[in-house]
């Protein structure tokens, strides 16, 4: 009898109590707490994730110049920083800059869901382990923290897009899509979780995504 732990929220699936071996659960089974896919679970006692590769194979590109898309993110982040310091005017000014750069972001030619999912998976397989490895080497716990959160949120996006590909509109009919406004965790359900499984903020920090008006 084994216990399986959800890598997103920490929910424990105890085979002894549940009666069904974890391996016997259908592939469509999801975490009852945060709806993470079966693949996000690992047996208790096993390392939460494989060790980050010591040296990333790919050389780091030189990205001195930030693109318009990245500049928009830098500015919207600084706007949030101003909000936290109760600097409303400054926050509005940074948002104005963020909007300018968002409007000037080059469109992606022929966007398709498969390309998006490929990019998300590459982050999970290569970029997060590489960044996390660099952060460990530099004893940078702040960056390790964003790797922990970002990886969980990204794994959830991969799982939701995969589910949509398999189940289509049925998956989202008569239910809601929620985004944690702090860490970006996406949750599908009638009501948001009581606390965010990733960053632990309360339910009111979740935003409901409305359909087209």
Partner 1 sequence: MAKRMAVRNLRLCTKDCLCLYVCPTGATDTENSIIDTEKCLGCGVCADACPSGAISMVPLEYPPQQKKAEAVVARANVLARSKALQEQTARQLARQAREDGLYRLLTAVTKSVRLVNEDLLREAGYMLPQGAPAHALLQSLVEAPPAGFPVEAARELLARIPCNEPEGKEP
Name which of residues 58 to 87 contact partner 1 (CB under 8 A).
Answer: 60-63, 66-67, 69-74, 76-78, 80-82, 85-87
Rg value, the chain, Cα: 19
Closer residue to partner 1 (CB): 21 or 81: 81
- Pair 133, 54: CB distance under 8 Å: yes
Evaluated on CA atoms 127, 120, 6, 176, the torsion sign reads positive
Residue 94 contacts by C-beta under 8 Å, 6 or more apart in sequence? 75, 76, 78, 79, 82
- Pair 205, 195: CB distance under 8 Å: no
Q: Is 172 in the site for partner 1 (CB under 8 A)?
A: yes
Question: Which residue of 12, 44, 191, 209 would you call a contact of partner 1, by CB under 8 A?
Answer: 209
What DSSP element (H or E) covers 137?
helix 128-137
Closest CB 196 distance from partner 1, rounded Å = 12
Choose the stretch contacting partner 1; rule: CB under 8 A; options: 3-11, 31-39, 40-48, 157-165.
157-165
How many angstroms separate the CA atoms of 209 and 189, rounded? 12
Q: Is 201 in the site for partner 1 (CB under 8 A)?
A: no
Site for partner 1 in 10-39 (CB under 8 A): none
Show the binding pattern over residues 81-120: x = contacts partner 1 (CB under 8 A), - = does not.
xx--xxx-xx--xx-xx--x---xxxxx--xxx-xx--xx
Question: Which residue of 37, 178, 192, 196 would you call a contact of partner 1, by CB under 8 A?
Answer: 178
């Amino acid at each position: 009898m084994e216990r399986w732990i959800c890598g997103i929220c920490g929910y424990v699936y105890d085979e002894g109590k549940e009666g069904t071996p974890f391996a016997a659960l259908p592939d469509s089974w999801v975490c009852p707490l945060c709806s993470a896919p079966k693949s996000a679970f690992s047996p208790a006692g096993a390392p939460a994730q494989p060790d980050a590769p010591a040296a990333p194979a790919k050389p780091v590109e030189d990205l001195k110049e930030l693109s318009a898309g990245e500049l928009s993110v830098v500015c919207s982040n600084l706007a949030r920083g101003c909000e936290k310091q109760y600097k409303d005017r400054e926050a509005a000014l940074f948002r104005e800059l963020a909007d300018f750069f968002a409007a000037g972001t080059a469109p992606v030619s022929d966007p398709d869901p498969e390309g998006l999912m490929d990019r998300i998976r590459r982050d999970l397989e290569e970029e997060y382990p590489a960044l996390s490895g660099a952060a460990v080497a530099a004893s940078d716990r702040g960056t390790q923290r964003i790797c922990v959160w970002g990886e969980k949120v990204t794994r959830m996006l991969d799982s939701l897009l995969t589910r949509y590909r398999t189940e289509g509109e049925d998956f989202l009919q008569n239910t809601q899509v929620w985004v944690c406004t702090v860490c970006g965790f996406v949750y599908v359900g009638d009501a948001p979780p009581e606390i965010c499984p990733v960053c632990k903020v309360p339910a009111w920090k979740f935003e409901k995504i409305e359909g087209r008006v």
